[in-house]
Amino acid sequence: MTEEQRRSKKRKRGNHRIPTAAKNNASSSTTTPSGVANPTKSSSKSKSSFLDKMKTRLSGGYFRMINEKLYTCSGDEALEYFKEDPSLFNVYHSGYQAQMSLWPEQPNDVIIKWIKDRSPSLVVADFGCGDARLAKSVKNKVHSFDLVSNDPSVIACDMSNTPLASSSVNIAVFCLSLMGTNFPSYIQEANRVLKPQGWLLIAEVKSRLDPTTGGADPNDFVKAICELGFASKSKDLSNKMFILFHFQKKEKQKPRDINWPELKPCLYKRR
């Protein structure tokens, strides 16, 4: 095969490979690390800070690419995507942490506080747990699920199909994790594993549930979850960046046709 044929094949495949330098730099997508080898040589210093800036831009770009992928594919496709290259998960999470550091309040903190204010005997399932910060912050037994496991406590799976027994948990949490196009199947899975009277907590990015900017109507979202068999307990709009919903599973549920709203992807702008 000629060099040109090889290049054209690569173009057709859609090159999603991320250079190692960008992966290694993933932890610094908003700040520029110094990384200067010899502080006495100013030209090598400015060269390396230029390179650092370029790497930072690259890793920010890769974060946005992975983020868009996760919002525009189904959970099983996302699982395959990370199986092919698990290191992309770290690239995504470094970029995500950088974005989160700009938010005035973290939804995870609000959820952690809510759980801490309740009995530590309540069993929690954290759907799309990321770095499992929730599990590390409370005394409760927490089952943590994500597409990749970077911690022995995290079970790697597509969260529409967890290994939990039916009616086995008291609190199900989705903190900014309803990313897949099949997000209703994640909520249905939470419904399966929750005990009657169990709590369903959902934090979602405000723009996804803001009809004035093309997002879904939060009332339609609440209605769909109520049709599944939950009572809506609160809808907290007080945070600038996210909405937090509390639902409680009804004792008896009647199967119904549910009209799920579409949730648009949350795409981060290049800064």
Ligand X SMILES: C[S@@+](CC[C@H](N)C(=O)[O-])C[C@H]1O[C@@H](n2cnc3c(N)ncnc32)[C@H](O)[C@@H]1O
By CB under 6 A, name the binding residues for ligand X: 70, 75, 78, 96, 108, 128-130, 145-147, 158-159, 175-177, 179-180
Write down the least CB distance from residue 127 to ligand X, Å.
7
Query: How are strands ordered across the β-sheet holding 230-236?
Result: 154-156, 142-146, 124-127, 169-175, 194-205, 242-249, 230-236
CA angle 192, 266, 11 (to 5 degrees): 105
Of 165, 124, 117, 168, whose CA–CA distance to 145 is shortest? Answer: 124
Which pair of tokens denotes residue 156? 């790697």
Query: Strand 242-249 and strand 230-236: pairing?
Result: antiparallel
In angstroms and rounded to an integer, the radius of gyration of the C-alpha atoms of the chain is 21
Write down the least CB distance from residue 75 to ligand X, Å.
3
Write down the least CB distance from residue 15 to ligand X, Å.
22
Write down the least CB distance from residue 70 to ligand X, Å.
6
Write down the least CB distance from residue 233 to ligand X, Å.
20
Write down the least CB distance from residue 92 to ligand X, Å.
7
Q: Are 263 and 208 a contacting pair, CB within 8 Å?
A: yes
Q: How many other C-beta atoms are found inside a 10 Å radius of the C-beta of residue 226? A: 15
> Which residues are CB-contacts of 246 (< 8 A; sequence separation ≥ 6)?
199, 200, 201, 232, 233, 234, 236
DSSP 3-state assignment of 174?
Answer: strand
Q: Which is nearer to ligand X, 29 or 52 (CB)?
A: 29
Q: Which is nearer to ligand X, 52 or 179 (CB)?
A: 179
Q: Which is nearer to ligand X, 52 or 112 (CB)?
A: 112
Write down the least CB distance from residue 241 to ligand X, Å.
12
| Amino acid letter for position 212 | T
